[in-house]
Every structure is written in C-alpha cells, then in structure tokens.
Amino acid sequence: MGKAKNPRRVADNEAMAKLRMLRTSPQKLNLVAGMIRGKKVEKALTDLTFSNKRVAADVKKCLQSAIANAENNHNLDVDELIVAEAYVGKNLTMKRGRPRARGRFGKIIKPFAEITIKVRQVEEQA
C-alpha cells in the first residue's frame, strides 16, 4: 500500500515550467512576460530571441523547457501550442548598502524574481 498519486496541477492539454532566482526585478521581468502572453510558441520564441531586454534569454530558456515538458511528458503537439499564462512572482531580496556622507547609510536593494510559463494545446481552426 503506497501513497495516492498527486493530481496534476495543470489541465490535460497543458504543461508548465518555472524558473526561480532570476536576478532582476519582478517589474522588469513582467514586461518580458507580457510580450509573450497569448502568442503561439514559435512567435514567442522569435520575439524573445530578438528582444533587447537582458532577461529575455532566461525567459526563452524557461519557455523552451515548458515546450519540452509538453512534448516529452504530456505528448502534446508542439505546432499547436500557445503561451496560455506567463506570470511573475517576487523572490528573495538581497540587502546591501553604501556609506554616505555624515555617517548615513544608503540602502541598496537587489531583488530576485521567478517566472511561471504554462503552454496549452489548441486545435487550429481551418
């Protein structure tokens, strides 16, 4: 007698990937996530490849992982995938500082973020 199987966190026609500890602020990461929401995965990969944002390479890596999960783990068709959800969350914040004039201390905050990408298979309308 073993443990019961955990239910899937996503639907049968979905797959997801999560990337944690990205060294950027969630606000900047959300700009890149908004760029790919609702698009077909080929178009989203192209947009991320030619984006000028530094964090776009990491988001592309996460999207490729979600596509690979859909193909290998859930047997979904890669050509029919769209980016269903791309949402950003806060992670830890490193606190650093710099001495300032008259004995004061300038606070420097170095935020980290995380991104979750869900891809969904939709049938093409002919």
Give the pTM: 0.90
Q: Where are the alpha helices (DSSP H) in 1-126?
A: 26-36, 41-49, 56-72
Mean pLDDT (whole number) for 78-84 = 96
Band of residue 124 on the pLDDT scale cut at 50, 70, 90 = confident
Checking if the pLDDT of 4 tops 70, the result is yes
- Tell me the percentage of the chain whose pLDDT exceeds 90: 88
Residue 1 and residue 115: Cα distance in Å, rounded?
Answer: 37
* Main-chain dihedrals φ then ψ at residue 14, nearest 5 degrees: -130, 160
